[in-house]
Structure 1
């Protein structure tokens, strides 16, 4: 008899991170897989990726009041759990309705696994703790150290697997000519990619530092005739917001504002990455790219990379010019720190086997072989 696994996602960017796990489970003859999604956008992703999914709407006669109506979603999600009766429930975080879904799983003896979806910081703890699930598959020691420090989870609940999304990061080999043609950017120049962020939890980054940082980079862009600057706009941020800021400068022709379909592929082709505290910073250190982290609001360090000498930490507008010049003219200055940082954030960094470790963890849980005393997964 096959084991039933139910995967739930409510955001397109979350589902994209689940794709390798979904494909691996789909190919496992011992698994009966149900993929449950909340939005039509996720349904389109499933179609493009070649796997079937079910819309949450099918488990209720009620209509959501607005797009991303999470208050509406809890009742049909619990109905889906009752209907499917999975042996294992998998999701990407414990935030919003998922916290209640995990409680329901515990009450009904449904095994559950949470896969890491992003980089925790003090302003995003609500997406990670308090942790009420059975097991948390963490990308690396940094995540484990952070969550243990801030409470709500015990070491026995954390299993280090490495980040499944980083398996792709490590193996990427995009065609620069094809990407340049798609974006309409010069192929014969260096590319600096600025992965933007909208103002999120606790108003960080602030609207003023978003505008100030972007505008300063655009102003400096004219100093580098052999460099083109690409602003890769975050999925939750209106692309017009960034375009309007860039257009305030006379140097806008040195820059391109885009939402390219493959952020990691774009970064792989770049000669440096700029961001605030996006998860793309982890990709940057794993790819060994020169990295600038901007925080103009205070001296808070969202990520440990500047203190590890893996990135240039910028806390004032004036420091952007210095960091940018070093990124372009001394690209290997922080390479040793980047290597150490990559190992810290991504368990067994470089082996490309995170998906294998996650799959083994899933089977261990299903077979009741999951040892909560293990520090990490060894295969």
Structure 2
């Protein structure tokens, strides 16, 4: 399926009246909240990635065991019970580092609550420091600006994620090295919340029993691309909870945990990254119930097919209601540039007054990365040859097929091996599973090239600052490369349309055939004037300003929301 057809199908599925007289969206309403919005984005990508396609259903003894009712019930029970030890682990970590008293004393001062994701915890260079720091790279500039104000207590939260050991290590590291109080959401799981989840599970199982034979639903779920009925099984599990994953009953749990946390922390404002994911959506719902303003900060590329941001005109409430049928969104969404505001308000269903252009606070440190001491340290850290040109390739292996990955590996490695005095840095996406590490290493063995595979959590902005050319498929990395005045190549060998406007806007060269990559790299390393002439206009439209003051603008927005409770007069443009 193409993005447009997938989006159209998802909208038709949730909005069509079934034979029972209700829509799928209405049937997912629980305690006045339409829980469909918690799966809307995941279900879209499930379809887009064609998880139901392939060579038919799996067979064999292991598959039979894994799909048996007894095995699923056992795994679900373990999943259920897991919330209790996770709550205990969160408590013990905070107790070990003397943070419990800090948690219990919250609410006595103005608090800003941020969502500190595990993936953002890393070392990077910031400000005028010659040594790298360990912090949350997404919120660091905002935290620094808030600390300078001295008027707020900053608290971070995020749930422990599977696999749990790395997530627990991240929490411990934050307790050791961070001046911000980080409180895992799991601390707020209660026995009553477990009972609420069980009640929700029974409720939605009854709903599924009522609708499983619905003729209208059967017609919607009958697709030629899905001969084995995998889509139906996916929808069924959202209701019936046959196997552990994000399902409606679990969303009820997350909302209740978020409400319990907000009752304890009592924040003046909540600032969110990745607002369409499950935990963040639950936090928005809980905040809406408690009348606590939420600010969402754009964290990645938004394009015309981004399901996390694009809604139909009547799906977002004009008065910020979180109740069904409306999608719960933040009170204010801070975006990179005017392009993104126009997209959200003209095509995404967002009201004009809830989208504010601020720029990206994470990019405030771009102006410091060209300092010679930092460059020298980075070259030494990654064992680079300062006499050679540097091509940075930021991969996204988990978003494309293995066949396309293998074609990319051969194309890039063939091209680099035939260009003199060039070294390749491979920076994998932090979300890439380990199997892609092996795949890259295996393909590299067949080439004699100067290649460096850096850690997945390496400082991407630092790598970009060192690079002479950047190679990608689609990513926020492209915005950052343009901001740093780097020549950019979009390598898209999969035959799908480009995601993002880099080539269209004239700040990148598109390579769509393997044989064109080598000559394109050589041409841009020699002269990138064809791209350079378009960068300033692109930056104004997509990034507002690279002036080191985006965090200042976001903090001004936070203070304004704290004063007006989030739904008052937000600025139509970024704070000057």
TM range (shorter): 0.7 to 0.9
Higher gyration radius (CA): 2
1:160 and 2:357 matched = yes
- Report the Cα offset of residue 271 of structure 1: 0.2
User: Cα gap change, 1:253/1:61 in structure 2, threshold over 3 Å: closer, same or farther?
Assistant: farther
- Once residues 240 and 188 of structure 1 are traced to their aligned partners in structure 2, the CA distance between those partners, rounded to angstroms, is 33
- Once residues 247 and 329 of structure 1 are traced to their aligned partners in structure 2, the CA distance between those partners, rounded to angstroms, is 31
Q: Secondary structure of the equivalent of 1:118?
A: coil
Q: Please point out which of 522, 525, 528 is paired with 1:331.
A: 528
* Equivalence for 2:119: 12
Mean Cα displacement is larger for which, 258-267 or 127-136?
A: 127-136
Mean Cα displacement is larger for which, 220-229 or 128-137?
A: 128-137
Q: Deviations over 1:149-203 (max 9, x none)?
A: 4323122110101100111123313634432332233222111000111324xxx
* Equivalence for 2:157: 36
Higher helix share: 2
User: Cα gap change, 1:181/1:373 in structure 2, threshold over 3 Å: closer, same or farther?
Assistant: closer
Instruction: Within 5 Å, give how 1:16-165 maps onto structure 2.
Output: 16-39=137-160, 40-43=168-171, 44-45=173-174, 47-60=176-189, 73-95=254-276, 96-122=278-304, 124-126=306-308, 132-165=329-362
Q: Deviations over 1:46-94 (max 9, x none)?
A: 643433211222212579x999998564432221112122221111132
Is the 8 Å Cα contact of residues 9 and 38 (structure 1) preserved in structure 2?
A: no
* Equivalence for 1:353: 549
Is the 8 Å Cα contact of residues 255 and 285 (structure 2) preserved in structure 1?
A: no
Is the 8 Å Cα contact of residues 115 and 272 (structure 2) preserved in structure 1?
A: yes
* Equivalence for 1:251: 447
* Equivalence for 2:558: 362
- Unmatched 5+ stretches in structure 2: 1-107, 122-135, 161-167, 195-242, 312-326
- Once residues 169 and 345 of structure 1 are traced to their aligned partners in structure 2, the CA distance between those partners, rounded to angstroms, is 16
1:267 and 2:461 matched = no
* Equivalence for 2:396: 197
Q: Please point out which of 396, 403, 425 is paired with 1:230.
A: 425
Mean Cα displacement is larger for which, 161-170 or 120-129?
A: 120-129
Q: Secondary structure of the equivalent of 2:452?
A: strand
- Report the Cα offset of residue 8 of structure 1: 2.3
Q: Secondary structure of the equivalent of 1:81?
A: helix
Return the TM-score normalized by structure 1: 0.88
- Report the Cα offset of residue 37 of structure 1: 2.7
Report the count of equivalent residues. 373
RMSD across aligned C-alpha pairs, in angstroms? 2.9
* Equivalence for 2:367: 170
Q: Secondary structure of the equivalent of 1:184?
A: coil
Q: Deviations over 1:103-137 (max 9, x none)?
A: 22222211111111111235542267556221001
Is the 8 Å Cα contact of residues 427 and 454 (structure 2) preserved in structure 1?
A: yes
* Equivalence for 1:279: 476
- Once residues 46 and 327 of structure 1 are traced to their aligned partners in structure 2, the CA distance between those partners, rounded to angstroms, is 45
- Once residues 305 and 497 of structure 2 are traced to their aligned partners in structure 1, the CA distance between those partners, rounded to angstroms, is 11
Q: Deviations over 1:308-335 (max 9, x none)?
A: 1110122232332332222222233310
Mean Cα displacement is larger for which, 171-180 or 66-75?
A: 66-75
Is the 8 Å Cα contact of residues 36 and 55 (structure 1) preserved in structure 2?
A: yes
- Report the Cα offset of residue 41 of structure 1: 4.9
Q: Please point out which of 215, 221, 226 is paired with 2:416.
A: 221
- Once residues 256 and 403 of structure 2 are traced to their aligned partners in structure 1, the CA distance between those partners, rounded to angstroms, is 39
- Once residues 482 and 397 of structure 2 are traced to their aligned partners in structure 1, the CA distance between those partners, rounded to angstroms, is 22
- Unmatched 5+ stretches in structure 1: none
- Report the Cα offset of residue 286 of structure 1: 0.2
Is the 8 Å Cα contact of residues 5 and 34 (structure 1) preserved in structure 2?
A: yes
* Equivalence for 2:378: 179
User: Cα gap change, 1:372/1:187 in structure 2, threshold over 3 Å: closer, same or farther?
Assistant: same
- Once residues 18 and 105 of structure 1 are traced to their aligned partners in structure 2, the CA distance between those partners, rounded to angstroms, is 20
Return the TM-score normalized by structure 2: 0.59
- Once residues 146 and 172 of structure 1 are traced to their aligned partners in structure 2, the CA distance between those partners, rounded to angstroms, is 31
Is the 8 Å Cα contact of residues 412 and 517 (structure 2) preserved in structure 1?
A: yes
